[in-house]
Structure 1
Amino acid sequence: MLKILLYPFSWLYGLVVFIRNNAYDLNLLKSREFGVPVISIGNITVGGTGKTPHVEYLVGLLKEKYRVATLSRGYKRSTKGFRWVETTSTALEVGDEPLQIKHKFADVTVSVCENRVDGVEQLLSTDDGIVPDVVLLDDAFQHRRITPGINILLIDYNRPVKDDHLLPLGRLRESTHQMRRANIIIFTKCPDEVTPIMRRVLQNDVGLLPYQSLYFTKLEYEKLVPVFGGKRLGKSLYEERKYALLVVTGIAAPQPMLNYLGRFSGQVESLSFSDHHNYSHDDIQKIEARFASMDAEKKIIVTTEKDAMRLKDSGYLSEDLKAVWYYLPVKVSFLEEEKKSFNKKILNYVGENKSNRELHKRKNSGQS
Structure 2
Amino acid sequence: MIGFKSIKLFIFNFLRFFYFLMIVIRNFFYDIKLIKIKKFNKPVIGVGNITTGGTGKTPMVIEIAKILIKLNKKPIIISRGYKRQSKGTVIVSDNNNILESVVNSGDEPFLIAKKLKNIPIIVDKNRYKAAQIASQKFDFDIVILDDSFQHRKIFKDLNLVMINFQEKDENYSLLPVGRLREPYSSLKRADLIIWSKYKKDYETSSFNKKIIETSREQLFTTIGLKNQFDKKFNILVFCAVGDPQSFIGLLHSKRLNIVHKIIFKDHEKLSMRKLNELIELKNKYKADYIVTTEKDWVKLPESFQKSKIFKFLELEIKFKNNDKDLLISKIKKLI
For normalisation by structure 2, the TM-score amounts to 0.90
Q: 1:72 aligns with which of 74, 79, 91?
A: 79
Q: Matched residues in 1 for 2:300 and 2:59: separation?
A: 19
| Cα separation, partners in 2 of 1:27 and 1:162, compared to 1, 3 Å | farther
1:326 aligns with 2:317: no
Q: Matched residues in 2 for 1:159 and 1:57: separation?
A: 22
**Runs of 4+ in structure 1 over 6 Å off:** 197-201
1:53 aligns with 2:59: yes
Aligned counterpart, 1:276: 267
Q: Secondary structure at the match of 2:299?
A: helix
Larger Cα Rg: Structure 1 or Structure 2?
1
Aligned counterpart, 1:188: 196
Unaligned runs of 5+ in 2: 1-5
Q: 2:115 aligns with which of 104, 107, 112?
A: 104
- Contact 1:30-1:145 within 8 A present in 2 as well: yes
| Cα separation, partners in 2 of 1:250 and 1:199, compared to 1, 3 Å | closer
1:287 aligns with 2:278: yes
Look up the equivalent residue of 1:67 and give its one-letter code: K
After TM superposition, the structure 1 = structure 2 runs for residues 76-95 of structure 1, keeping only pairs within 5 Å, are: 76-86=83-93, 87-95=98-106
Q: 1:247 aligns with which of 202, 226, 237?
A: 237
After TM superposition, the structure 1 = structure 2 runs for residues 141-290 of structure 1, keeping only pairs within 5 Å, are: 141-159=149-167, 164-191=172-199, 193=200, 202=208, 204-205=210-211, 208-209=214-215, 212-223=216-227, 237-238=229-230, 241-262=231-252, 263-290=254-281
Q: Matched residues in 2 for 1:67 and 1:18: separation?
A: 36
Q: Matched residues in 2 for 1:187 and 1:131: separation?
A: 32
Look up the equivalent residue of 1:31 and give its one-letter code: I
| Cα separation, partners in 2 of 1:161 and 1:155, compared to 1, 3 Å | farther
Total equivalences in the alignment: 323
| Structure 1 residues 196-223: Cα deviation after superposition (integer angstroms, max 9, x where no partner) | x9799946436735xx411111001111
Q: Matched residues in 2 for 1:104 and 1:56: separation?
A: 8
Q: Matched residues in 1 for 2:79 and 2:22: separation?
A: 24
| Cα separation, partners in 2 of 1:98 and 1:35, compared to 1, 3 Å | same
For normalisation by structure 1, the TM-score amounts to 0.82
- Contact 1:90-1:310 within 8 A present in 2 as well: no
Q: Matched residues in 2 for 1:219 and 1:176: separation?
A: 25
1:29 aligns with 2:32: no
Q: Matched residues in 2 for 1:54 and 1:15: separation?
A: 31
Q: 1:342 aligns with which of 323, 327, 332?
A: 327
| Cα separation, partners in 2 of 1:318 and 1:124, compared to 1, 3 Å | closer
Q: Secondary structure at the match of 1:155?
A: strand
| Cα separation, partners in 2 of 1:338 and 1:194, compared to 1, 3 Å | farther
CA RMSD of aligned residues (A): 2.4
